[in-house]
Amino acid sequence: MPSKRDRELAHAKYLRQQERRALRRVRKRFLGVAAIALALVTVPLWLYYQSTQTENVSAQPGQTPSAGPTAPIPGCELPGAVRANNIIYGAAATDLPTASAFTLETNCGVIEFDADTKAPTTVGTMAWLANEGFFNNTACSRLTTQGIFVLQCGDPAGDGKGGPGFKFADENLPLPGSDGSYIYPRGTVAMANSGPDTNGSQFFLVYQDSPLPPNYSIWGSITSGLDVLENIATAGVSNGTSDGAPTQVIVINQASTTP
């Protein structure tokens, strides 16, 4: 029969065994919870990484713009390839050409407008850029469908930040109304800018009367193609708001002038 001492030693051993078993059970539970937590963190991060790899693709040489419907809206064709790189000039030509009219051949139709004789420097600069092929194969980067109604073009970068590498002064600014604004009439062609005397190559085409500050040089009036602009506007903005890249991609295939 075991002595009292033997019984005490046996009981102590039993308790140590139970403690070790309990620790093993706790460790297994902890590792299981940690594995689940790690999966909950890493799987969403992986999915996010995968989504960014597809959503952040930008147009490269030989590719068409990424925004736009899978099929063109009625009246439009699939856009051609856009050029990926800016063409930079140190300055405009010193001997600017004259132009009485401009023609924009786009994948959604032809837009024509007369030049405004009250803006000779603007018209001459834009005619020189057009004759140099600067506007060919460029996408119109911005459409607005509420408050003001314009399509903005002339940006070779395609993101609203491109230009020819030089700036020139404002010209033929309208007189403001009593509230400090001006209604740019339907059919107006005016320069976009980032402040006074910062004209470059970007311009906007007004397809409905639009109240704006009188800060944008007027240099043309649309004679044909307002229906093209209105058709593009019906497709809306690609981000679902009223201001952004047009859902229907519109590319200027070729810009030309009439002397």
Q: Which CATH superfamily is domain 101-258 in?
A: Cyclophilin-like (2.40.100.10)
pLDDT at 157: 86
Give the domain ranges of the chain.
1-56, 101-258
For residue 87, the model assigns a pLDDT of 81
What pLDDT, on a 0 to 100 scale, did the predictor assign at position 117?
Answer: 97
For residues 127 and 205, the answer to whether their CB atoms sit within 8 Å is: no
Cβ–Cβ under 8 Å, residues 252 and 112: no
| Whether 200 contacts 167, CB under 8 Å | yes
pLDDT score for 200: 97
Q: What is the pLDDT of residue 245?
A: 96
**How would you write the pLDDT of the chain (259 residues) with one tens digit per residue?**
444 444 454 445 555 655 666 556 645 554 444 443 433 333 332 222 222 222 222 223 334 454 556 689 999 999 988 987 778 898 999 899 999 999 999 999 999 999 999 999 999 999 999 999 999 999 999 999 999 999 999 998 888 889 999 999 999 999 999 999 999 999 999 999 999 999 999 999 999 999 999 999 999 999 999 999 999 999 999 999 999 999 999 999 999 999 9
Whole-angstrom distance, CA of residue 210 vs CA of residue 250: 21
pLDDT of residue 20: 62
The answer to whether residues 227 and 109 touch, using CB atoms and an 8 Å cutoff, is yes
